[in-house]
Structure 1
Amino acid sequence: MDASRTPAAAPPTRSPHAAPPAAPVRVSRARRLVAPVLTLAGVAAAFAYVGAVDPNEPHHYPVCPLFRLTGVLCPGCGGLRSAHAFAHGDLVTALGANALAVAGYLVFAAFAALWLVRAFRGRPAPRLALGRSAWWALAVIAAGFATVRNFPIGSALAP
């Protein structure tokens, strides 16, 4: 045998005491549905509370700190009034209170429905992985919404 040539390494052998490789675990449908159902129940409870306790009445909820200190509407201002109207099925009033929040409700509803269907079918949960440019785009949309609604031209977007 030539000294410059080394013998090929033998494949690693499993120890006779090592556990066999784990088989994929089958999870029941009920267990797969726990997370999406509990999430939807939590959101439904929050909407039920906001639907029952009117944010248009004074002293039920705190005032937005930015609005209280500066008089400037943030992107979230009117969100509770929007949720209250949305919970009562008044989409026009909800859009008038905070159109960005209504868009968020609809995006969440679509995501939750997809999550529920995928869990029911035994598929992995959908991933909400946004790239850096998508996060920047969302930030620009929120900042633009907040800016426009604070000027007379965007008064239709103000709550």
Structure 2
Amino acid sequence: MTQLPTPPLTDPSVGRGRRMLWPAVAAAGAAGFALVAHVLNPYEGGNYPTCPWLALTGTYCPGCGTLRATHSLTEGNVVEALQRNPLTVAAFVLMTLGFIRWARRQWRGEQRMTAAPAWLLYGLFWVIMAFWIGRNIPGWTWLSPV
């Protein structure tokens, strides 16, 4: 029986600077988003358009409050960010950890990461759906972004 050769953990033909290009682009994009959310205060009217879902249905979507949560995080106010959209704060933490892992693997020249397992993606979907429903239950103002 013939075994397939295992690919090397590193690719010496690609330089470190070239491998770090996409992590640098992603970090610049995230910093740009944070800067805009910090400078253009979402608490002041007219800086951002109204959420289309909220305007059409009168209910909050899972993303409602994301700009206000991001603005609060850029000012160092974690409690207020959690009040605006706790799912956004959790997503930022997970995305930061994923970015660090990705950048470290790129720095070392290791193989690409595999996609997330299906159970994790389905679980994430159902968490978002439960959050969406929960924040629109009358009386559950602790999940509303207002």
Q: CA RMSD in A?
A: 1.5
Identity fraction in percent = 33
| Amino acid corresponding to residue 39 of structure 2 in structure 1 | A
> 2:89 is matched with which residue?
102
Letter of the aligned partner of 1:143 in structure 2?
M
Q: Larger Cα Rg: Structure 1 or Structure 2?
A: 1
Bigger RCO of structures 1 and 2 (CA < 8 A, at least 6 apart): 2
Deviation at 1:127, TM superposition (A): 3.1
Kindly state the Cα deviation for residue 25 of structure 1 after the two structures are TM-superposed. 5.6
Aligned to 1:91: 78
Say if 2:134 is the partner of 1:141.
no
Residue 4 (structure 2) aligns with = none
Q: State the aligned residue count.
A: 135
Uncovered stretches (5+) of structure 2, i.e. residues with no partner: 1-10
The within-5 A match list for 1:6-25 is none
Q: CA deviation at 1:83?
A: 0.9
TM-score, length of structure 2 as denominator length: 0.85
Match of 1:117 among 104, 108, 112: 104
Q: What letter corresponds to residue 156 of structure 1 in structure 2?
A: W
2:43 maps to 56
Amino acid in structure 1 at the alignment position of 2:110 = R
Using the alignment, how far apart are the partners of 1:122 and 1:99 within structure 2?
35
Question: Which blocks of at least 5 consecutive residues in structure 1 are unaligned?
Answer: 1-23
2:143 & 2:45 partners in 1: Cα distance? Answer: 22
Deviation of residue 78 (structure 1)? 0.5
Runs of 4+ in 1 over 2 A off after TM superposition: 124-130, 133-136
> 1:66-85 alignment to 2 at 5 Å?
66-85=53-72
Partners in 1 of 2:112 and 2:77 — Cα distance?
A: 31
Shift of 1:87: 1.5
**Alpha-carbon deviation of 1:53?**
0.5
Once the two structures are superposed, what CA deviation does each residue of 1:118-138 show, in whole Å capped at 9, x if it has no partner?
A: 11112123333331x333222
